[in-house]
Amino acid sequence: MKRSVPLALVILACSATLSLATTARNEQHTPDRAAKRKTESRADAAARKREEAAAKKRTDADHDRDRAVQRQKQDDRKRQDSSRRREDRAPNPTRVVFIGGYLYDPFFDPQPWWPRTLYPYRWSPRFDGRAHVRILASPKHAAVYVDGYYAGVVDDFDGVFQPLPLLPGGHTIALYLDGYRTVNRRVYLTPGATLKLHDTMEPLPPSMASAPPSVAPSLPSPPEGTYLPLRTPPLGSLPTSNTTADAGFGMLSIQIRPLSATLTIDGEEWLTTKPGEIVVHLGAGRHVVVVSAPDRPAFTTEVQIREGETTDLNVRVPERPTT
């Protein structure tokens, strides 16, 4: 009688046999796998080297591009500086000032082009504090003179964007038109200030002639390329010079109180953009100064101006005593 083998032993024996076969097969393929892994490691290392080389090349290219951009910026900056220097050597309409009959660019050169005996007014050529005067007067075609020099006509300087640009300090502005009474205004301008002059010229009867404005001796032309032509050339012939050179000039610095007081020098009223303070140049010699204010007694004095010196004057007009 045959003895039967348990099914569990059969399964266990088959499993052991399969495990031994698998182990043998794995041991057989182990060298191949190691060689494959080694080959793959070498390939990975080569790929990493290629990537590093490409990254370095990209970095070098970026650096070259950055250097090129920097060089371009430097070249642009040099061109801008060169252009700015050229502009500084040419008249700029936004900063020219009217001096001696010319719309002159004071940034062109630190030295004036005229001899002091011809144009004795003190000024700073590189001063960037121009003052502006808007001339709101009629008739519009009346000639405008500044310090004895023709500047244009009223219509040239009556707009917000076309004032008369002047250096700070004292100036004489005259309006002249044949058949009308000549208007003379003395003004003191502070740096950067704007003054509006309102005038309506008075027609004269046919039997009366218009008084010509004070005309200063002509100055030589400034260097070429440093000035702009006047907006409106003279209408007809200009009056000839009717002034003589003064012996010399000095400065008069006046402090006035109250601020609403009116200043008159040698019978000419002075307007100012800074109430209570006026600094003007006057010919050497004696001058009569009158300071008046509403409801106060006028103050009158005589000052001696010496050539090249500054005379200080402080005036306080007292209130009228009550009775």
Q: Is the dihedral of CA 80, 86, 89, 95 positive or negative?
A: negative
Among the four given CATH numbers 3.30.930.10, 2.130.10.10, 3.40.120.10, 2.60.40.10, the one describing domain 246-323: 2.60.40.10
Domain formed by 94-243, architecture: Sandwich (2.60)
* pLDDT confidence bin for 1, thresholds 50/70/90: very low
Taking residues 261-280, report their average pLDDT. 90
User: Among 113-127, 155-169, 299-313, which range has the highest average pLDDT?
Assistant: 299-313
Is the pLDDT higher at 109 or at 237? 237
Residue 135 has a pLDDT of 95
Backbone region of residue 207 per phi and psi (left: phi > 0; alpha: psi in -120 to 50; beta: other values): alpha
What are the residue ranges spanned by the domains of the chain?
42-88, 94-243, 246-323
pLDDT in tens, 56-80: 777 777 778 888 888 888 888 877 7
With 60 as the cut, is the pLDDT of residue 86 above it? no
Full-model pTM:
0.67
β-pairing, 169-176 vs 183-189, is antiparallel
